[in-house]
Structure 1
Amino acid sequence: MTRLDVLGAINEDVVARVRRAPALGETVADGVLQHQPGGKGANQAAAAARLGAQVRMLGAVGRDAAAAQMRAALESAGVDVSAVQTVDEPTGTALIVVDEAGENSIVVCPGANARIDPDRFERDAAVPVLAQLEVDGAVVDHLARTSTGLFALNVSPARELGQLLWDRTGLFIVNEGEYAALPRLATAPLVALTLGADGAVLLRGGRRVAEAPSAPTSVVSTVGAGDAFAAALTVALLRGLDDEVALRAACAVGAAAVADERSQPALAPLDAYLG
């Protein structure tokens, strides 16, 4: 079985579903409130586990009721939470507005995610890592420095990367805005670039080696789609699938995610998305 350590944020998502998002200074009064497990790290860990990988979550939660709920959600997805740290900060929270087209705006309150101690992780350095940038950059750097297996990085939210991450990252996963913000990605060894409704492309050294369309679907929420895509592509490549097959599978998983209102959507094993 494919093994994967996922480093990243664990959040409680507080979601308001509205017909349209309010403009600055405006109030809309038709919201429907939901509380659900989220955080880019937790979303990707849950997706990878549901797709069939053996996943361990590397992150932190607080000592509050949300912490128990977030741990339970990960465990129900099949994720090993033994490395999730408990710290003296509230569990992270994301405030999310989703409109009737499924588009979203998000404010993240990091809480416990800002207090991860990378020295407390006891792990096999050879196990591949999938990370994002919702946690302290020093923690991401530590995992990149101490890992010997594949280091995959979802560059979200986008920020400037230090030389260590450029040297160690074997797979960058970005959307169009993130790609435009980091011109150096054009020469990176392997980049997956998501194009929304237009699917995704895979670039090796700036050369397009695979492309895949977005699978037809009804858009309910785009909150967890990028995370499901990142998890699926990483797992598919670790399984040894060729570029085109892996990318098509990841796009199919992303399409399944946007048809689900949850940040951690229900997914079938990866083989269900091949073909």
Structure 2
Amino acid sequence: MGKIAVVGSINMDVVNRVERHPLPGETVSGLETAYIPGGKGANQAVAAARAGAQVLMIGAVGQDPFGGPLVEALGKAGVNTAGVLEKEGTSGMAFITVDAHGENNIILSPGANGRLSAEDMEAGLIGAAGGSGGAGLGGVLLQNEIPWETTAAAVRRARTYGAAVYLNPAPARKVEDEVLALVDVLVVNETEAAAISGLEVASREHAEAAAEWLLGRGVGEVIVTLGAAGVVYASKEGERISAPAFRVEAVDTTAAGDTFIGAYAAARDRGASVQEALRWANAAAAIAVTRPGAQSSIPSADEVNRWLENRG
């Protein structure tokens, strides 16, 4: 097992619960408001750590009252926070509205995340890799809530260390072919797959076609997450897997994708097969959607194992 470094965002999530999402120009009454540590980078770091991996977070918080609690929450989840910097100004924030069906919409305010530079990333990865040789670094998890220039630089640097590169380009954006060719595992939902490939992704067949397109751009493995419809997996070696999702009553889908990615990376890092890792990650995500919040919803390895045992 190697160390997993996560380069990405750290947010305070301001979660408002409503019966239904408002229409444009409409005001609706909220049911409750909660402040919960989140951010796609931090969520994936917590998911990987709770799944049993050794994880270092590389990111930034602000000098506002949220910075300290955000770093503390990562530490309590077992994440090494030596790579988290303090920047002038505010921490990143996500304003999340969750309806009675567990569906959410999100507004991001990047704050310190938007000031995480390629130089910051470089220093963090050198520490994670145990020096310039990189022998201690097994994988690098990346998203799209920090400057794209920093993320793209991290893809290139991770490859020089021989670390597996996991990229989740969310929020959705076009990714240059030169970057795609350096990605070992690309994890996308329907929206992100469509944004990168330019193809319509409205069905499993569409997802499979988008995965083939992405493999053609040099990606090593593609995972397209389809929510309740499960996931589609394809690799350049020719492996094709369709993994069903577990049926649960969703309370809050926030961080479900992040939970899947962190759990999958941790499972692969400890030697699980692709099939085993997909099932394990699907189970972790299924548990997460039955609970409110982002990091607060992410299960431990013991919880996932017990949950799977109960399902045979």
Fold match, TM over 0.5?
yes
Find runs of 4+ consecutive structure 1 residues off by over 3 angstroms. Answer: 205-208
**Match status 1:197 vs 2:208:** no
Structure 1: state its 5+ residue gaps: none
Across the aligned residues of Structure 1 and Structure 2, the Cα RMSD in angstroms comes to 1.7
**Match status 1:138 vs 2:170:** no
The aligned residue for residue 170 of structure 2 is 156
Q: Scaled by the length of structure 1, what TM-score is found?
A: 0.95
Return the letter of the residue paired with 1:247.
L
Deviation sequence 1:104-131 (CA, Å, 0-9, x none): 0000000100111332323314511000
Aligned-partner SS, 1:180: helix
The number of aligned residues is 275
Deviation at 1:142, TM superposition (A): 1.6
> 1:6-21 residue pairs with structure 2 within 5 A?
6-21=6-21
Deviation at 1:268, TM superposition (A): 1.9
Deviation at 1:162, TM superposition (A): 2.3
Q: Distance in 2 between matches of 1:66 and 1:29?
A: 26
Q: Distance in 2 between matches of 1:226 and 1:49?
A: 16
Task: Say whether the 8 Å CA contact 1:189–1:205 is kept in structure 2.
Answer: yes
Deviation at 1:181, TM superposition (A): 2.0
Q: Distance in 1 between matches of 2:82 and 2:308?
A: 31
Instruction: Identify which range, 259-268 or 56-65, moves more after superposition.
Output: 259-268
Task: Say whether the 8 Å CA contact 2:259–2:298 is kept in structure 1.
Answer: no
Aligned mate of 2:292, from 246, 261, 269: 261
Aligned mate of 1:165, from 168, 179, 200: 179
Q: Scaled by the length of structure 2, what TM-score is found?
A: 0.84
Q: Distance in 2 between matches of 1:38 and 1:30?
A: 20
Structure 2: state its 5+ residue gaps: 198-212
Q: Distance in 1 between matches of 2:276 and 2:234?
A: 14
Q: Distance in 2 between matches of 1:87 and 1:173?
A: 29
Task: Say whether the 8 Å CA contact 1:199–1:214 is kept in structure 2.
Answer: yes
Instruction: Identify which range, 180-189 or 21-30, moves more after superposition.
Output: 180-189
Percent of aligned positions with the same letter in both sequences?
39
Instruction: Identify which range, 33-42 or 125-134, moves more after superposition.
Output: 125-134
Q: Distance in 2 between matches of 1:199 and 1:41?
A: 22
Query: Structure 1 pair 266/227, CA: closer, same or farther in 2 (3 Å)?
Result: closer
The aligned residue for residue 92 of structure 1 is 92
